[in-house]
Amino acid sequence: MKMTIKEVAKEAGVSISTVSRVLNGRDRVSRHTINRVRAVIEKLQFQPDFVARTMIMKKTSTIGLIVPQLSNEYWALMSEVIQDALWMRGYTTLICSTDNEPDKDEAYLKMCLERRMDGVIYCSSPYCGPEARDGLDAIKEAGVPLVSLDPNIAGVSCVVGDHLQGTLTAVEHLIRAGYARIAYIGGPAVSIEREFGYRKALMMHGYRVDEGLIRLVKGQSFADGHEGLRALRSSGLAFDALFCGNDLLAFGAIKAMEEAGIRVPEDVAVVGYDDIFSARLFKPALTTVRQPIPDIGEELVQLLLASLETEPERRTVRKIVLPTELIVRESSGAALRQGAEARR
């Protein structure tokens, strides 16, 4: 039976405002009344209607989280971390997986507005074309706090890994190990900073950037990496190392190499990015750049909540860059070239 505050009031012999008061701990209510009302609430198993409450308070206590793909380990973990951080602070997270479809992206953004999310954490942008910009603008205009994982959205606070530095470290790791022809597989679906870092590292070390060794693919999945490597090979250019925009791309590329009889790391050294769980399970264990997912999630939430407690006019735009860490394993051939054992 769906109880309402009215029935509680009647049963307890008080007015509905009094019930509302004990419910919210507002104003002063006599100890005695409080107890009586509490007892009735308990007895009637009354639960205030969240929707009605929401309508008045204009606060859904819900945050929209938009990620490109839940079935991608990286996003699944990120979602979990964010949901936890939000839950501990009394918020519910509405996780939306766009499956990299701009239409869905736009639709979910719209839904966030329609359903009056208190805030939105947008992690899908690398893939978004101008369509999503509209959705994001609508959210900003409505004064709904918005934070992102992408540093390229004007006027939106973000938390990001230090990809430039991370990539630099990764590529320098290869250079130091003696590799000279380092290819890159990335694309719009992974942070553009990674491509820049790759170029920067080469240039800093006096290498010429060979555009033929750079392969931009559409997605960020295993299949994209696989395809990217095939395209790379069909170009006929030789390479002895490969840096990939994320771990999944690296897995796909390595798979494609295996199929072609190319050994990793003996023939080609490979470094990925993200350090998803599978990276250490993979064979060869993947050398990769670890992103501090828990920290990123936590900071994202803090940023959003801070924004939530500030009037739209005085909100500041923050860009928080978190350090990344190179995790050296087998795929980069460290053991081969330096005789050192790959760790972790």
CB of residue 38 vs DNA: minimum separation in angstroms? 12
* Displacement of CA 94 from its chain's centroid (Å): 14
- Yes or no: say if 169 and 243 are a contact pair by the CB < 8 Å rule: no
Closest CA to 148 of 194, 91, 182, 191: 191
End-to-end C-alpha distance for the chain, whole angstroms = 56
* Residue 30 interaction partner, one of DNA, a copy of itself, none, beta carbon < 5-8 Å per kind: DNA
Nearer to a copy of itself, 213 or 229 (CB): 229
d(CA 120, CA 285) in angstroms, rounded, equals 36
* Residue 16 interaction partner, one of a copy of itself, DNA, none, beta carbon < 5-8 Å per kind: DNA
Nearer to DNA, 28 or 208 (CB): 28
- Yes or no: say if 221 and 251 are a contact pair by the CB < 8 Å rule: no
Positions touching DNA (CB under 7 A) are 2, 4-6, 13-18, 20-21, 23-24, 26-30, 32-33, 48-49, 52-53, 55-57
CB of residue 278 vs a copy of itself: minimum separation in angstroms? 5
Nearer to DNA, 48 or 188 (CB): 48
Tokens of 184: 């890159």
HSE-up (13 A, CA, CB side) for residue 191: 25
Q: Which residues have C-beta within 8 Å of that of residue 127, sequence separation ≥ 6?
A: 68, 100, 102, 105, 188, 189
* Residue 232 interaction partner, one of DNA, a copy of itself, none, beta carbon < 5-8 Å per kind: none
d(CA 100, CA 126) in angstroms, rounded, equals 10
Nearer to a copy of itself, 72 or 124 (CB): 72
Nearer to DNA, 43 or 263 (CB): 43
Positions touching a copy of itself (CB under 8 A) are 2, 47, 49-52, 54-55, 60, 69-73, 76-77, 79-80, 83-84, 87, 92, 94-97, 99, 104, 111, 113-116, 142, 222, 251, 255, 277-278, 281-283
Residue 325 forms beta bridges with which residues?
A: 290
CB of residue 58 vs DNA: minimum separation in angstroms? 7
* Residue 307 interaction partner, one of a copy of itself, DNA, none, beta carbon < 5-8 Å per kind: none
Tokens of 297: 């999630």
